Structure 1
């Protein structure tokens, strides 16, 4: 068995792992850093452009964010923009589009007015759009079912116009950039692909990492950024056993032509722990509009990668009375139950498009079934973590650091937006554990 030793090994080369690899290489005096990726390139799963909404979720149009959460998310979102500017990534992997959070009907319109007043100080650039302004910048949103006359409902929005802020990122390309930049920092770095980690052990303060090709890597410290597989590997190490995981997949529908000029998000149902349907210009589909996501609970840790992750799902779920009770309580709520069951219908041929269009017409009333098609191969899996101690579904990111020197991260949305902020947290923790120097001033100058 071949063995290689490093100060830090990062497992997973999606956007979160790539961000940490970059920050360790650029802002610390740690000399030997490796990143191991299961597949043959960075960002082939949830960070791939087809697997997410390509959005910088900074909190200005995400109506499921409280003001307190928005403040935290904005800070990490600003880091994304600063990294993009540092790399001259404008119109390469970072783009500026108009965007808005749309309120439809009197109740939502009143809510949007109140939200605008509450959030405008945190986002000084944000504007309030009435129906006339919406018609000017997003005409298909303001027009009715005939596409000619104005829609009957009252509509308002809060948002920004084209060119005012950066809104969109190809996180796949950004992952590649982060890894490339990490390799240019004069450190002893290793980037290895097709290295599926099966087990991690700690022996005498050294971590032993085993892969399917019978290689062994040793490290003083480890960070696992492997999506739902982070919990899978944590469980195999005997930690994080108070957590379980429901993987939720999201599917999308694409339009055959450009229908929206920018991003249009809707008011989030506060009872649902899933993103509300929204429309985005798709960077990888000639800027045609992508509507979604749906929310589909599936018994797999990865989508579009065969059936291998099905048994891994059951191993990670660790189904017991507590998980059963939490799941039952969720399904007792008719809003959640009906939403989850209804979303399965969006996967069924012949009826899926007609059902989906009914929901998407809240954004574009004139949308027709013939305007859209199921985006085959689009959509990823987000690990929705169940906290058995608390007895509920965790909304947001989760980290397991029960063993000194190793961190397991699970990052559902907005994990991509938070990647550099999460990497900063983990970089500080690793430096403290190793007694390494962290150049905080340089990071603050460049990214904060």
Structure 2
């Protein structure tokens, strides 16, 4: 068997598709029916669903860097739907369903791994909130249970049941918790979209948005001005900046969010484990690396630098949960920029500018919403601005009428 693998690795005769690569970049046209600002997961997913299910292929994706190089490449690839509100649970449950079939949809392996997510409760108040989340999840199609300490020991035998002198009283066990390869998701959507005629323009930075009589008419880039029938803004951490180009403000604040990973070790942890009291979550990848993540930095900043203080804090919390991890070696650390709303829910749908559609405010859960976001935003564009029922609660005007969708308690690590 090892010799066969070595022989296969050294051969030039690989079974691959001739059209497996993305098309060679072309010149920008003078006009497109749809311009999507942002070539991350959400942008390419929207283009894919527009092309495949609505027949809209005169689409240009404008990405200032490279495909999936923003927050799509700077997350820990967790997929879940165990949210607090009915609106959130319904939305993310649909996303989980789409994720489960994406490899078949693309004929491209996204390395989807169903593993379950365990969130720890250290206080009676947290246990009460977990009971509420369990019932909401069950009612709207999520598979979530409240489990006791003995069941937690059986799920994760290596877990310290008294981390930081905070005994674990119960756990929120989300059976549908999973992971997928984030860059594979972006490449799968991009491949499917471009094969159907969508144009992906990397290294193409949007520098301005032109409007006339309250309607978007063109987009300025470092490669020239492009006319458009409509625009979809999907730029993650820079949503406020791009919206400002279109002439309106968004109720968002941007914060850095950091994570880190160790060198690979033998498999010992299958579920994703998190504790909001310790501001930390831990998972083991398919390659054996241990990923740590936690809350965002406590101050607004457009920066993706790593810091020593957060590194120390995350490592200390992870070691409280798994003391033997003190012997592991850290491999690397990274950060992304997250757009936070006051109610910790996204902003999707219409904007103050006609034919300018918003996909923003994802905070720490943008990756897990990628399929359903692409599907619903495509429906919005294809219908000419009729907002799908699933995303209607996430409209930006909810802040004007005080109809927030408060998901603050549903984050895996408190912000």
TM-score, length of structure 2 as denominator length: 0.74
Determine whether 1:381 maps to 2:337. yes
Structure 2 unaligned segments of length 5 or more: list them.
Answer: 1-26, 387-415
Structure 1 unaligned segments of length 5 or more: list them.
Answer: 146-150, 270-275, 305-345, 386-392, 436-448
How many pairs are equivalent?
355
Spell out the pairing of 1:104-253 with structure 2 (5 A cutoff): 104=122, 108-109=126-127, 111-112=129-130, 115-116=133-134, 119-123=137-141, 125-142=143-160, 153-159=167-173, 165=176, 167-185=178-196, 188-203=197-212, 207-213=217-223, 215-240=224-249, 243=250, 245-253=252-260
Instruction: Return the alpha-carbon distance in structure 1 between the equivalents of residues 114 and 35 of structure 2.
Output: 35
Two-structure CA RMSD over aligned residues (Å): 3.3
Change (3 A) 1:116 1:189: closer
Instruction: Return the alpha-carbon distance in structure 2 between the equivalents of residues 36 and 47 of structure 1.
Output: 15
- Of the candidates 263, 277, 280, which is equivalent to residue 277 of structure 1? 280
The alignment partner of 1:433 has SS state of coil
Change (3 A) 1:7 1:262: same
Partner of 2:296: 295
Partner of 1:359: 317
Change (3 A) 1:268 1:25: farther
Judge conservation of contact 2:209–2:216 (CA < 8 Å) in 1. no
Instruction: Return the alpha-carbon distance in structure 1 between the equivalents of residues 118 and 167 of structure 2.
Output: 17
Judge conservation of contact 2:148–2:169 (CA < 8 Å) in 1. yes
Which region of structure 1 is more displaced relative to structure 2, 219-228 or 421-430?
Answer: 421-430
Change (3 A) 1:355 1:220: closer
TM-score, length of structure 1 as denominator length: 0.69
C-alpha deviations, 1:176-223, integer Å up to 9, x for none? Answer: 1111111233xx42111110110011348662221123x221111111
The alignment partner of 2:240 has SS state of helix
